[in-house]
Amino acid sequence: MKRIAVDISMFVAIILEFVGLPILAHEIIGIALFFLIILHLYYNKRYFKAITKGKYDLRRTVGLIINIGLLISLLITIISGIFSSQKSLKDLKIGNYKISHLHKPFSIISLIFLVLHLVFTHKKFLRILKKNLISK
């Protein structure tokens, strides 16, 4: 049930990031989203172990490309967000406005990869959701 809660929380946090919140709320949700992404990756660590195993058909190859694109675009979004923080992390003195212009376009690119990721993984998600709801 923890996995489902993390996945749903990530989805809600991502939607909130695009609704025009005050900057401090945007940054706090962004930080929370970063930790939710780490949890999501931890809960799906078997996927990373299986990358080098088995055969790759077209669907598996495209899924891997989407996941790599999502991971890279999220990393750039997170790093540029940290460096352009105006409120929540301003005391860390790590601001670097040379890369802050990357935050918005890469957040949109991340959103596109996220939609593709959800299209490729929705059956697995629904199977896990059904399993958790029936077992309770």
Q: Are 100 and 83 in contact (CB under 8 A)?
A: yes
Number of folded domains that form the chain: 1
Tens digits of residue pLDDT in 6-49: 988 999 999 999 898 898 899 999 999 999 999 999 999 999 99
Closest by CA position to 99, among listed 75, 68, 69, 71: 75
Tens digit of each residue's pLDDT (9 = 90 or more) over 65-82: 999 999 999 999 998 988
pTM exceeding the 0.85 threshold for the entire prediction: no
Domain interval for residue 15: 2-135
